[in-house]
Amino acid sequence: MGQALLELLGAEESIQPVGLLENEGSFASGACLPVGHWGDVGLLSQVRAADDFDVLIDFSTPLASLAHLNACAELGKAMVIGTTGFDDAGQACIREAARQIPIMQASNYSLGVAMLMRLAQSVSASLGQNAQIEIVEMHHHRKVDAPSGTALSLLDRVQKGLGQAVSVTHGREGQVGPRPPQEIGMHALRGGDVVGEHSIIFAMEGERLELVHKASSRSNFAQGALACAKWLADGQIAGLYGIEDLLGTD
């Protein structure tokens, strides 16, 4: 994602990088600097090393994101969070920081996925009581969290559509018996260089409806993240926002 963002920023006139964050002791220190066509940009090990910025875009790890979040809150700077895999305590920290600064948090910055979220909730409300629902996601073999943050967001939308939280089964093995009517299956696949694929299956007697989104490039996520950064910088007040706020959708 960092590479995809930098490539877009190299051709973007309305937003410019002023600093790039990199872990101390990175195995490829400075490798990100040539991926663009701007002037001198500082390579930083922490957010507090420079305060001349409007928005921090963060796609990293939960631990790093929370450290960056604390610094942004202290400096009064907006933040776009694309990191997934936060535990309840980490999510509570994000909600608390949103009392001080504007934060955009999304598990997926694709506009197509944003529409998939809306459809997932709508179809669940209409057909969910008569269907067995399965959520399947696949990503590249280097992804460390499972299910993906997008799959978990889809699960939340499905349950909102159903009007209730139902039990969730992560994969199946052995003599599990007949499938309970009130259950959602979650399946995480890993392999190759898959950018991201998500599907929701509504299986009914005699028919099946599938909602599917497949990403072939990270550029669509990067475009969404940059759009969110510009939106936050355009006078948004403190608060925790989702990509639906940018799109003006429910």
Query: Does the pLDDT value for residue 136 go beyond 90?
Result: yes
Is the pLDDT score of 108 beyond 60?
A: yes
Q: 47-95: per-residue pLDDT in tens?
A: 766 668 899 999 988 998 999 899 999 999 999 999 988 999 999 999 9
Q: Are residues 75 and 135 in the same domain?
A: no
Distance of CA 37 to the CA centre of its chain: 27
Say if residue 100 is in the same domain as residue 19: yes
Catalytic residue numbers read 139, 143
| Stretch 20-40: mean pLDDT | 61
CATH number of the domain within which 87 lies = 3.40.50.720
Rounded-to-10 torsion of CA 121, 143, 222, 16 = 140
Q: In the predicted model, what is the mean pLDDT of the chain?
A: 87
> 128 and 150, same structural domain?
yes
Whether 199 and 181 map to the same domain: the answer is: yes
CATH code for the domain in which residue 136 is found: 3.30.360.10
Q: Are residues 38 and 87 in the same domain?
A: yes
Q: Are residues 60 and 116 in the same domain?
A: no
Pair 13, 85 in one domain: yes
Q: Give the pLDDT of residue 193.
A: 93
Q: Which pLDDT score, from 0 to 100, does residue 39 have? A: 57
Work out whether strand 196-204 and strand 207-215 pair parallel, antiparallel, or are unpaired: antiparallel
pLDDT at 168: 96
Yes or no: say if 187 and 136 are a contact pair by the CB < 8 Å rule: yes
Are 211 and 222 in a shared domain? no
Question: Average pLDDT of 115-126?
Answer: 94
